[in-house]
Structure 1
Amino acid sequence: MATIEQTAQAKGRSNPGKENNLHLFTVALKATIEGRCLEDEWIVDSGASCHMSGNRRYFTSFIPLDSQAAVELGDNTQLGVEGHGAVHLALKSGKQVLLQHVLFVPWQTKNLISTAQCASHGIEMTLQIQGATFYKGKILIATATRVGGLYLLDVHKPTPLKQGQTAMATVDESIWHKRLAHPGS
């Protein structure tokens, strides 16, 4: 896969990271499945340089990006990256997987599993006609089912984390009286 610098030079531009502090990641997703909602599916993508999701609620940890960053789609459209973090997936096999370094791309309508990122973490993938398998050494990590032209990770529908959490505490009336500094006390 070409680096950011090689991609920029091939397109006749200088390094976008040095010129305007814009970092590009590569995504190539053209296939669709007619009549099927892919919002909660995780698509195995050999064209994606990073795992990514457009659903912020799936992140169990999140770090906002300090600099401007974008992903570039196969049609040269660029989508802004707002941060990265970890996403917890419950596999249909009963195993739990924690995806690290997942990009949060708000306008990305599909959740992508990067085969390159998996390989970088020592995960070997085998593609067959019916599906795919993911191994770390001799241990089966995950499977994917081929649907149309896509390989969909075999996961249960993710349960989005709640945006806000509420904490409640009981405080003695005299403490509130002191905190509010009412006259006459």
Structure 2
Amino acid sequence: MDTGASSHLADNTGILISFSNSSMYPSVFVGNGKSIPITHTGHSFLHTSYKPLNLNHILVTSHIIKNLISVREFTRDNDVSVEFNAYGFSVKDYQTQKILLRCDSTDDLYPVTQQPSSQTLIVLLSLSSTTWHRRLGHPGDDVLHRLESSNLISCNKSKLSALCHACQLCKHVKLSFHSS
């Protein structure tokens, strides 16, 4: 987290969910007054147990040592506040003051101690619960509901639309053998 950065900066596109080769900024100025070229722009998310937090308009350049999150852009895009103290920082929902993310710091910097979404197992596709039911090995409605409420999957239809043929076959009792 950087209170002095006017834009989010990343050293590669690997942490981005989507990106383009064009940028409205051909270069940016850094603290020592030098200009560094921008190769891509894109966006990503920071996932919390409550909601994903947007990282919009990330500028990509291989000329930086640390990725930076602009506190100004971050708070504006997510309607959150960021509170710093000697032990780290907290991201809070601006309306409810609920802590969405807490990161501890032991050095001079305030690192985000969570991997961006492209390196986590969180899935953001919006599919029907029937499709998730089949892909995840035919779990029950309660399991799918827990996964959805934990933001691990996203369903555009909450309920299974029909009885699953495979589940019905698996629940049949085996018929006994004929005596012949």
Cα separation, 2, equivalents of 1:118 and 1:80: 22
SS of 2:68's partner is strand
1:134 partner letter: V
The structure where strand makes up a greater share of residues is 1
Q: CA offset at residue 96 of structure 1? A: 4.3
Q: Which runs of 4+ in 1 moved over 4 A?
A: 93-96, 157-161
SS of 1:117's partner is helix
Q: CA RMSD in A?
A: 2.6
1:28-70 CA distance string (max 9 Å, x none)? xxxxxxxxxxxxxxxx111110111011111111122255621
* Aligned counterpart in structure 1 of residue 107 of structure 2, from 136, 143, 148: 148
Cα separation, 1, equivalents of 2:21 and 2:27: 13
Q: CA offset at residue 87 of structure 1? A: 1.9
Q: Is the 8 A contact 1:89 1:158 kept in 2?
A: yes
Cα separation, 2, equivalents of 1:52 and 1:141: 22
* Aligned counterpart in structure 2 of residue 113 of structure 1, from 65, 69, 85: 69
Identify the structure with bigger relative contact order (alpha carbons < 8 Å, sequence gap 6+): 1
Give ranges in structure 2 of 5+ residues lacking alignment. 121-180
Aligned residue number for residue 104 of structure 1: 60
Q: Is the 8 A contact 1:48 1:115 kept in 2?
A: yes
For the pair shown, which has the larger CA radius of gyration, 1 or 2? 2
TM-score, normalising length: structure 2 = 0.55
TM-score, normalising length: structure 1 = 0.54
Matches within 5 A, 1:1-185: 44-65=1-22, 69-90=26-47, 96-121=52-77, 122-137=79-94, 138-156=97-115
Cα separation, 2, equivalents of 1:105 and 1:160: 19
1:69 partner letter: P
Identity among equivalent positions (%) equals: 21
Q: CA offset at residue 160 of structure 1? A: 5.2
